[in-house]
């Protein structure tokens, strides 16, 4: 008992020392923020770095022995603070006199310790107050376990979202998109982290499983419908339905003695006759088994599966509304504010007038009306109010009061319309709406909508994107085809009306349907006209009653222009879309391989004056490290904003300002310490 008490006291003392040491190390790191090389070198020669190295090794050994999860985290935090300090000071020890020999010694004596902390260390470079700064960070543990991809903490698809930018060539536009993407990824991650700490964590962690189960369930149900010969109930009152048709055929089968002889056809000698003249109502014994025995069981199974599908879709909709929809709405509102800002910027005389307004008047400009004219009208009204001056009393406030007519809609209305306009919400709503219709009408065929989810998969999405990209061209090509078809129909009615088949062209409406239904799908206008009589000479071809030569030209030109050329054009449009997507993909890959995604420095310059483009992109300016840095900063802010360093606080205020938009000016622009050092030497 005494030993246990002593052990607890020793553990508590170690934890208190742990807190003090972490605080001291953070103070040392704070001294290094924004300092010159002279100050850093002074620190380099004043401190006993070997003691710091021993403390780091001690933290690692205690981490391996202690089984308490909370204690292990604290020892890792302390050890990481030592290692990050050593890594930071190594950048200033250019003579390799203190830090590099120490780290090299530790790599030989304690390789597991150095490897442990090295795999948990990230590095980025930022611009703060016009100066380039180094930032070393501790990576999230789940990120380390997933091999730096961030798949475990954020998901592969989500991490790749930060590379979705409109223009890689425009550095400012690319950085703005990149910052927006990373900010949204971090916001979503923080929001999902809060949900993971509640009893509804499954709405985040099991989302992929829910969608996968829902899809497989519907796929199995439709396989059962097809191969079990399911007979759905008719939707139209005039339709008797498949079941009634089969029942009538079954009654006919039992009432007609000719059909009863099918089973004994070989004995009665009618086998050859039945083979030569088969009865369309003839049934086999398996048809009767399926109708009488299998069909009722299938109906019951399908009814149960429909109810289960409705439950799974309801669970899916709830998980979406709880874990996905709030961030979709927030991002949509953020995007609408960007559109308003763009419209205001385009309005005439806006820059000069806008700079003269105070912050309250600037905020009132960003109304929900996105037209530039309305924004300009509001600017003019505020300007007129200001021109009245303070001496006019109420006149000076008249412009501001007049702007209230263009104030924002209530927040709940903006959120509601953002939700309604969201394609993701519409999709999830339909995933639940159609199962409800299936249950109400007892017709499981409506649940087929769930199978369209395959269009959002990676492979299928490429096909759908090719249609979406050139959808306008496809529509115009189809309109051109209908115009050609209508032109040929007019010519056919005017010149070749007697040559049409009976009851195929009695009026324009019927002719239109016939030309669309038969001429397009079959062999052109040849299917609409009567069978031609081929003449024996050119005179009969030109002057005969069938107008054979003119009819022949009429048919062949339509065949060539519409069937061959126009349909080839539609196919070519789809193929061009594939080629365009592939070209964009190749261009993006080439850009990422030749220009740094973060700082926009070219490969040649880094290879000549730096550490090499590949090492630069992997060690100095890895976009994923910037994303993980923002995750760490946001988590620190949520836990305790006082523990953030000045660099972290600066980036947090730039990414999540109290007012205004995110700023990307903290990203390095054609700058890195390796290049800067080379330029200083030159």
8 and 110 in a single domain? The answer is yes
pLDDT the model gives residue 321: 94
Question: Residue 552 forms beta bridges with which residues?
Answer: none
Asked whether residue 273 is domain-assigned, the answer is yes
Dist CA 479 CA 473 (whole Å)? 10
Quote the tokens at residue 680: 């200083």
For 505, the 3-state DSSP assignment is coil
pLDDT the model gives residue 494: 79
2 and 114 in a single domain? The answer is yes
DSSP 93: -
List, in order, residues 6 or more apart from 62 with CB less than 8 Å away: 14, 75
Q: How many domains does the chain have?
A: 5
List, in order, residues 6 or more apart from 409 with CB less than 8 Å away: 368
Count of alpha carbons within 13 Å of 266, Cβ hemisphere only? 1
Asked whether residue 480 is domain-assigned, the answer is yes
**Treating both helix axes as pointing N-terminal to C-terminal, what angle do 325-346 and 411-421 enclose, rounded to 10 degrees?**
100
Given a cut of 70, the residues of the chain with pLDDT beneath it are 1-4, 7, 34-36, 142-169, 235-288, 335-408, 502, 519-524, 526, 676-682
6 and 105 in a single domain? The answer is yes
Asked whether residue 196 is domain-assigned, the answer is no
376 and 484 in a single domain? The answer is no
Asked whether residue 280 is domain-assigned, the answer is yes
572 and 630 in a single domain? The answer is no
331 and 319 in a single domain? The answer is no
pLDDT the model gives residue 392: 40
Asked whether residue 314 is domain-assigned, the answer is yes
CB burial of residue 487 (10 Å; 0-12, 13-18, 19+): exposed
pLDDT the model gives residue 535: 74
564 and 498 in a single domain? The answer is yes
CB 594 within 8 A of CB 663: no
Element (DSSP H or E) covering residue 550: helix 548-558
Q: Which of 98, 118, 138 is the last residue of a domain?
A: 118
CB 431 within 8 A of CB 316: yes
184 and 220 in a single domain? The answer is no
CB 82 within 8 A of CB 55: yes
144 and 90 in a single domain? The answer is no
Q: Which of 343, 351, 339, 382 is nearest to 364 (CA)?
A: 382
Q: Which of 680, 675, 664 is nearest to 598 (CA)?
A: 664
Strand pairing report for 121-128 and 131-138 = antiparallel
Q: Which of 304, 323, 342 is the last residue of a domain?
A: 323
| Domain of residue 162, residue span | 122-191+625-682
Dist CA 84 CA 89 (whole Å)? 9
Q: Which of 118, 142, 174 is the last residue of a domain?
A: 118
pLDDT the model gives residue 241: 62
311 and 338 in a single domain? The answer is no
Asked whether residue 85 is domain-assigned, the answer is yes
Asked whether residue 460 is domain-assigned, the answer is no
């Amino acid at each position: 008992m005494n030993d246990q008490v002593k052990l607890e006291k020793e553990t508590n003392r170690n934890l208190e020392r742990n807190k003090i040491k972490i605080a001291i190390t953070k103070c040392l790191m704070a001294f290094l923020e924004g300092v010159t090389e002279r100050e850093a070198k002074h620190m380099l020669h004043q401190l006993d770095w070997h003691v710091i190295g021993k403390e780091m090794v001690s933290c690692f050994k205690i981490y391996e022995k202690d089984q308490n999860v909370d204690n292990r985290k604290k020892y890792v935090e302390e050890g990481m603070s030592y290692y990050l300090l050593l890594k930071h000071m190594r950048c200033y020890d250019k003579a390799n006199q203190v830090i590099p020999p120490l780290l090299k010694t530790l790599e030989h004596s304690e390789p597991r310790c150095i490897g442990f902390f090295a795999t948990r260390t990230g590095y980025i470079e930022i611009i703060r107050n016009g100066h380039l700064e180094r930032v070393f960070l501790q990576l999230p543990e789940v990120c380390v376990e997933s091999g730096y991809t961030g798949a475990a903490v954020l998901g592969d698809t989500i991490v790749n979202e930060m590379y979705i930018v409109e223009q890689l060539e425009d550095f400012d536009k690319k950085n703005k998109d990149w910052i927006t993407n990373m900010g949204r990824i971090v916001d979503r991650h923080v929001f999902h982290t809060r949900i993971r700490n509640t009893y509804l964590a499954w709405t985040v962690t099991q989302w992929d499983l829910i969608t996968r189960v829902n899809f497989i369930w519907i796929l199995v149900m439709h396989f059962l419908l097809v191969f079990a010969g399911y007979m759905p109930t008719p939707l139209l009152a005039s339709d008797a339905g498949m079941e009634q048709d089969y029942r009538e055929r079954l009654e006919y089968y039992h009432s007609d003695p000719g059909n009863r002889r099918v089973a004994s056809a070989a004995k009665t000698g009618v086998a050859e006759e039945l083979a030569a003249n088969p009865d369309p109502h003839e049934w086999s014994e398996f048809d009767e088994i399926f109708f009488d025995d299998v069909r009722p069981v299938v109906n019951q199974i399908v009814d149960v599966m429909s109810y289960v599908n409705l439950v799974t879709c309801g669970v899916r909709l709830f998980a979406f509304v709880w874990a996905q929809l709030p961030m979709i709405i927030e991002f949509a509102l953020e995007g609408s504010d960007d559109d308003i800002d763009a419209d205001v910027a385009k309005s005439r005389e806006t820059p000069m007038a806008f700079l003269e307004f105070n912050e309250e008047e600037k905020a009132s400009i960003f109304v929900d009306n996105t037209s530039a004219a309305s924004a300009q009208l509001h600017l003019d009204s505020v300007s007129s109010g200001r021109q009245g001056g303070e001496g006019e009393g109420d006149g000076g406030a008249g412009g501001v009061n007049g702007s209230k007519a263009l104030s924002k809609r209530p927040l709940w209305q903006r959120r509601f319309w953002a939700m309604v306009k969201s394609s993701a919400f519409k999709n999830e709503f339909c995933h639940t709406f159609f199962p409800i219709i299936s249950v109400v009408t007892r017709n499981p065929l409506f649940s087929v909508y769930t199978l369209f989810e395959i269009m959002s998969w990676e492979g299928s999405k490429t096909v759908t994107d090719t249609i979406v990209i050139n959808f306008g061209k496809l529509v115009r090509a189809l309109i051109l085809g209908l115009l050609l078809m209508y032109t040929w129909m007019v010519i056919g009615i005017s010149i070749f009306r007697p040559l049409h088949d009976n009851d195929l062209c009695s009026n324009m409406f019927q002719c239109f349907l016939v030309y669309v239904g038969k001429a397009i799908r079959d062999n052109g206008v040849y299917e609409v006209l009567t069978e031609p009589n081929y003449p024996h000479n050119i005179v009969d071809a030109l002057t005969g009653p069938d107008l054979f030569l003119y009819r022949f030209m009429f048919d062949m030109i339509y065949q060539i222009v519409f069937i061959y050329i126009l349909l080839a054009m539609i196919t070519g449009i789809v193929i061009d879309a594939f080629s365009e997507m592939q070209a964009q993909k190749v261009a993006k890959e080439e850009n990422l391989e030749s220009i740094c995604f973060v700082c926009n420095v070219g490969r040649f310059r880094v290879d000549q004056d730096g550490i090499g483009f590949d090492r630069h992109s992997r060690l100095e300016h890895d976009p994923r490290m910037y994303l993980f840095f923002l995750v760490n900063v946001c988590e620190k802010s949520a836990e305790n904003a006082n523990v953030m360093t000045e660099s972290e606080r600066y980036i947090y205020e730039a990414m999540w300002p109290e007012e205004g938009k995110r700023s990307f000016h903290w990203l390095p622009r054609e700058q890195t310490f390796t290049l800067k050092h080379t330029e200083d030497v030159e």
